[in-house]
Structure 1
Amino acid sequence: MDSIDLEVLKAADSWLDAGHACELVTVVQTWGSSPRPVGAMMVLREDGLVIGSVSGGCIEDDLMARVRNTGRKQETPELLTYGISAEEAFRFGLPCGGTIKLVIEPLSGKSRIKQLLAHVMHHNLVMRQLDLVSGAVRLAPAQAGAVLDLTLSVLTTIHGPRWRLLIIGAGQLSQFLAQIATGLDYQVVVCDPREEYRLAWQVAGVDVIHAMPDDLVLEMKMDSRTAVVALTHDPKLDDLALMEALKSEAFYVGAIGSRINNARRRERLKEFDLSDAQLQRLHGPIGLYIGSKTPAEIAISILAELTAIRNGVALPDKMSVASAKDEIELPLWSPAGREVVPTQLN
């Protein structure tokens, strides 16, 4: 599963190769509420075909109509603002009087889309600087945490995976997790020293590294944009890796397992050189409680928790798997003092 940005770049590259005229549209500023964040992109072909999104529908419709009715008149980038008036905000579906500013860039060979796509496909984080006067483009390595920047003459955008996810174990759940995480702009690394699991791996674009997980955690130099998820159920593989990850700056460290197994894991980890604060960082059982049963559902549950944490959302404790199941399994008592077994919730 490609991220939205990667889909846009692939479409732009394909259309240019086929001789189509197309434009790259980027959200560069927003005020008030806006459906899509700064940095969102879409590519628009001369016949009105579009890949990506900058508003969720209404602005795309207007841009497509403009291309169909008037053709491409701009040869250099232009700035376009929607939603200044209350009438426009209502027309284009911008809630609460929101305003959105776009850069519309006619694409050509000098846009360097093919080179940018090659870097992103190799999981490189790239800075693209667009000269708003001439349309010339410069590419350079980007630093982790870099963000879009707009000046009077230059638009700087960041492309490539903004986050890293290390998955320990290459089982079926890991395959679903890797697929969805790739679409969420993670650079996914899967580690499993067990040959039988590596041979069964089937996720395109995500390879399995043959290494001991704790060694790989140290090698990757975990930073605040990295998450670690242990999925093997094997203490020999998970525990040492979790220990090293908990000592790092990783924004999320978690392990799959029941409440009982996670309690036992915490007891084992106490024997290592970890502080109470470091142990408190361990998530387990991982994920948000959504009644997940299948590997695909569990992967969604895990990534929902990662998304909330990386977005700085404080989740209530009752949304965790452990708390939700504790509450579900508490016995209920009738007014007569009889215990009533609660219905299992999914």
Structure 2
Amino acid sequence: MIEIDGSYGEGGGQILRTSLALSILTKKPFIIRNIRANRPNPGLRPQHLAAIKVLQGLSNANVEGASVGSSEISFYPGDIEAGKYKFDMGTAGSITLVLQAILPTAFLTSSKISLSLRGGTDVKWSPSWDDFDKVFLHVLSTLGIKVKTELIKRGFYPAGGGEVTVEIFPSESLDSIRVDEPLRYENVEGNIVISKLPDDIPKRIKHSIVKQMVHYSINGEINIEKCDTLSPGVIVTLWADSNYSRIGCAILGEKGLPSEILGRKCALNIIDDIKSGVTLDMYATDQILPYIAYITSYRGEKSVLLSRELTRHAKTNAWLIEKFLPVKFLIERKEGLVRLEVRQA
């Protein structure tokens, strides 16, 4: 039984989600205490309970202590069972965060897993749907993981109501990441999604983004998508391709955040990554660690990537992964970037 301190590092819900995924992959049970101890409302919230229920159903697991407010759970994984599943995250519970915990099952499934999920597609403190679909799934495809998605309806906080379908296919071959030199990125693409807000907002955001692109001599193609959701909202997602990888940035609009600043902030974020030549943006680096660690433990091949910084989430993820898998993370500075290597322990 692996024992985990849920207050370690960033001390949030990601420790739980990553533990669930790694437990299923390794068939190792775990107990986690002090769940979300560093948060204002510690313990399991409804969205975390939803993730547990999803993974419990997919892996025929036994779970103890799974209730709202609980600070401790035990999880005993069973076998992955392919098939069709339907889950409701509840109001605006993040669909993309739950999918982060589900997708590693692609390493084990022998046939297709079909999911229908309802909840929030674009909510605070989680990847936007476009960042997940356009950036993260593209990166997973370079590792040999095939996932097909369909966005039926978007959902903003607080009402949610978003709907997606996801198909996870068996992995036929796996590849590690081995990029030890800066990459060259070309054009930037983007999508500004808006619902139930004035029409001038996406135009001002787009103008601000284009202004930065012109200033730095970067070509960009920015789309405006108007949709009808239960709650009003606006979110910006930008991405750029190299010959090997894809990087992205997503920022959710908030009350009091001017459109011009929102657009400028998102543009400058991805421009900094482009100028640095990173392999992955900071948030994709955080999300990809369980996958490259599993591939390293399975195939024995090390992975290497470059990022601008390692977030607290990423550092916490590395600490947690080493509890489940026989791997070691090596982190060092290289010419202004962070070089991250994962090798067998």
User: Does TM-score exceed 0.5, indicating one fold?
Assistant: no
Determine which structure has more spread, i.e. the larger CA radius of gyration: 1
The structure with higher relative contact order (CA 8 Å, sep 6+) is 2
Higher strand share: 2
User: Which TM-score applies when normalising by structure 1?
Assistant: 0.29
User: Which TM-score applies when normalising by structure 2?
Assistant: 0.29
